[in-house]
Structure 1
Amino acid sequence: MEQSPLDPREALAELGRIRLGEASLEAVMSQIAALARRGVPGAEDVSVTLLRGEAPQSLAYTSAMARELDEWQYAHGGGPCLDASVSGGVLSLPDMATENRWPAWAAEARDRGVHSSLSMGLPIQEAVVGTLNVYGTRPHAFDPEGIELAKTFAAYAAVALANAHLYESTTTLARQMRTAMESRAVIEQAKGIIMGERRCTPEEAFALLSKVSQDSNRKVRDVAAALVDRAIGRQP
């Protein structure tokens, strides 16, 4: 069901209501794309590109067409979406018929019914950038006021994405640290069992765990956990 246009002020307010921890990074990007489509006058479809290292991805889009236009740029190594990601600026393509910076991509866009576009860089973190891509179905779909509104929306979106990415990164790091601590604890327990049974040093106990790990093609942590479970009677 087609959603009605959204007052730009309400679109910006919705961005500010995004609560960290209640949505994944991709969900936040999808919400940004949907709000931009409804809140930016002239927008027919929207996509959000994320560039981590040298691997761009369209993780949110309001139509397959928007995703495919982005992916055409990824495959050919150039276009307004990628250039805006790198520069962090705003690239306006008012008329695909007269566009000479990316003529091949402009021709592809025209074939898909897109005749104007905006690509706005989204600085997220030092190693992570993005782009908000807004596509129009007629030439000059975005007037000066609409472009300024889109730029303001992109600035709000960049903050929301930066916060979501930081939250996700911090949560992932905490989970990895917790897993590492749990792994270390079970390995230390297994070493203690081996030392008690064989009257050997900690180094010799760990060497034995490592050998069993290599011989059985299992992680040291899994070998250690099996030994601990056997010692306390969880396994035969």
Structure 2
Amino acid sequence: MHDHALFVQAVSGFTHWVLEPHASITVLERLTDRATAVLDLVGSGILLDIDGVLTFATALPEQVADLEEAQERDQQGPGVDAYRSGHVVTSPDLSVEDRWGGYAAMALARGLHATAGIPLRAGDIRVGAMSVYAASPREWLEDDIAALSALADVATGCLVSGSRQRGKDDLVRQLRGALESRVAIEQAKGFLAAQEGITVEEAFARIRRYARDHNESLRSVAAAVVRDRGLGGPEGSGPGWAGPGG
């Protein structure tokens, strides 16, 4: 069962966001974070439709990012099916899943045993899909699917609300901006991991923690990590370095 109090809080937060613009990547990061917390999951990830190709945009934690990259590469998986069908797609036990080629085996190898794909849509506008993951086989209860769908719908509403006036081209630009954010975050993860002698996942956790604690987007913190160190500043001289490294 999902945490109803957290669900109400998450929906309320997104409802306020509809009334004011936010960067697409910030909305997507919030969606993955809230969906994971509300259902007490391992993690979740987002695919976006860019020129007809579902493309990995953001995910947490690292093993989920691996699966979203696989969905992008192979164009198959729960998120891909959810987007194409317009309906929720579930797999309660990946050990007996025969869809999606090697996807199930890849998930199991990363300790993920159940998944669901949720379309991201607002009316007749479809922008992508969210995939969520559980650490053990899980029956996806109707109430849990309803909660995930509601979060996905209200987050998608945040993405498209401003674009309804400015047109589809503006929405496409927003989604492309989210992908650029992903590239910046990947660079920062690799940079911090190499500098600190830690794993990429540990580096990502530090970046996420700093962004959350300081109410900043992952993209802005990631850019600061690379920029400040690249400029040759001393350790701790800038927010991008001191925070994630601390």
TM-score of the alignment, normalized to the shorter chain, above 0.5: yes
Which SS does the other structure have where 1:89 is aligned? coil
Matches within 5 A, 1:86-105: 86-105=84-103
Partner of 1:44: 42
**Is contact 2:163-2:170 (8 Å) kept?**
no
Q: Secondary structure at the match of 1:15?
A: helix
Gap regions ≥5 residues in structure 1: 174-236
Q: Residues 37-76 of structure 1 correspond to what in structure 2 (within 5 A)?
A: 37-39=36-38, 41-76=39-74
CA 1:125–1:24 in 2, change beyond 3 Å: closer, same or farther? farther
Matches of 2:72 and 2:150, distance apart in 1: 26
Q: How does 1:99-178 map to 2 (within 5 A)?
A: 99-124=97-122, 129-140=127-138, 142-163=140-161, 165-166=163-164
2:17 counterpart residue number: 18
Shift of 1:10: 1.0
Distance 1:145 1:128 in 2: 23
Superposed CA deviations along residues 18-69 of structure 1, whole A, max 9, x for unmatched, are: 1565421111111111111112x24220112111222322222222222210
One-letter code aligned to 2:23:
S
Identity of aligned residues (%): 22
Q: Secondary structure, in 3 states, of the residue corresponding to 2:17?
A: coil
The 1:113–1:167 alpha-carbon spacing in structure 2 relative to 1, beyond 3 Å, is farther
Distance change in 2, residues 1:125/1:147 (3 Å)? closer
Take 1:58 and 1:167, find their aligned partners in 2: how far apart are those partners?
Answer: 27
Letter in 2 for 1:17: H
Q: How high is the TM-score relative to the length of structure 1?
A: 0.62
* Alpha-carbon distance between aligned partners in 2 of 1:73 and 1:107, rounded to the nearest angstrom: 13
Task: Give CA deviations for 1:179-219 in whole Å, capped at 9, x if unaligned.
Answer: xxxxxxxxxxxxxxxxxxxxxxxxxxxxxxxxxxxxxxxxx
Bigger mean CA offset, 17-26 vs 109-118:
17-26
Q: Is the 8 A contact 1:50 1:128 kept in 2?
A: no
Q: TM-score, normalised by structure 2?
A: 0.60
Cα RMSD after superposing both structures = 2.9
Structure 2 residue aligned with 1:9:
8
